[in-house]
Structure 1
Amino acid sequence: MRFCYKTLAACAALSLTAIPAFAADYDPPIYVEEVPEYVPVEIGNGWYLRGDVGYDFARPLYNWVGPYKVDNNRWSGSIGVGYHFSEHIRGDITASYLGKDDLNGRIFGTDYEASHTVWSGMVNGYLDIATVVGITPYIGAGVGFTHSRHKISLDPSFLGTVDLADRQFNFAYSLMAGASYKVTDNVSIDAGYTFLHTPKMDYLDTERLEIREGQQQHLLKVGLRYDLW
């Protein structure tokens, strides 16, 4: 019986010495907080590029009837960048070439030439009203400036060539209406009308031979918008 007690005591001692060894080999469970789902950022989301061509149906600045050569370039072109603020509100910044008028002839033995070129820079806002069968009508308005260059060249035989040039920067505003049609997820065709008014622009009225103030343009435009999604 004494042998059994001694054996049990020895086993118990071995068990107690083995517990720290097993405890050292045991790793407690690791709890990891849930990582939020990664959402990639869309570079350029909401931004778009645009390009347009147009034709001006307003009365030309040079409209002289007589033995003079008049060339009125009524075509225009513009480029711009814009942003969709919401589903119905967007805005853009545009730079445009608005055409050129040329006049040349001979009067009282003197050859002369005249030209008038106009550019513009505008900040525009639009309201996209609704989309029906893929067509989205809109209205808009803009403010900015026009840059005009008026040049007159005279060639009297007793003086030689005389060049007179005038450059102007003037406040301008515009009103727009039109509609767009989405061809793909990124590309839309845009067609519309723009009324552009520069109240303080000086120009030569070739019919009355006097300097007048204010110019209006009535542009029919068509172009493309590319969304940078």
Structure 2
Amino acid sequence: MAKSSGGGAGKSLVRATLAIHEPPVGTSTTPGGLIRTFDFDFNPAQLSIGRRAHWKMTPAPAVRDSPIPEFMGPEPREMGVEIFLDSSDRPSSNSVLRKVDSLLECCQVTAKSIAAKQPSPPWVVFQWGSFSTARFTAYVSSVDATYSLFGTTGVPIRATCQLKLHEIPSRTKGQNPTSGALTARRVHRVVAGDSLQSLAWREYGDTAAWRAIAEANAIDDPTALPNGTQLVLPAAEEVRF
């Protein structure tokens, strides 16, 4: 289990986010449309990532020495992340209540998935700058919220949420079916100086991949890219140069 803690000179200036998507339709393992992006009030003080290898042991009672175990493949990753929410500087605000509710909804079936006759809660992608180990497509298995401060009307203005995420694996080209390796779509918020070409070079190492980004976001005019726009960046295996 790997743990990361922040503080001091090593404190990240990049804000962590949780992209919440509709589940895909059919057998796809690529997240569906973006429902919302959950912006953290504060970056996690710590998070944990775990992964297990699956080995098969075959009993052999007639043999004195135990047989060699057979490796069956890696298990999907699991991640625990703590989210601290605080609006105590605005005692009448209900932002903490709304944010906790949006996390709890990650364990509820979406209306679109019911309409598609494939009931499923949302799929999510946690992102924190260049921390690629923690970025993968997942489902939220549990949300535990602890409210620790309340406003004069009884509305919570401080809370700590514990999230458990479980990876949803997908196969890439040439990958063994038992492997859980994954390259996930992620969401990028446009900042000054960004262009589709620069994002394509940064993500895929080829500026020609800008067309894939444009298609994924239904962009007709690639020169019009307002700051703050949220772009879905396709997984590398989806991009054709």
Question: TM-score, normalising length from structure 2?
Answer: 0.25
Instruction: Give 1 or 2: higher helix fraction.
Output: 2
Flag the structure with larger Rg: 1
Question: TM-score, normalising length from structure 1?
Answer: 0.26
Instruction: Give 1 or 2: higher strand fraction.
Output: 1
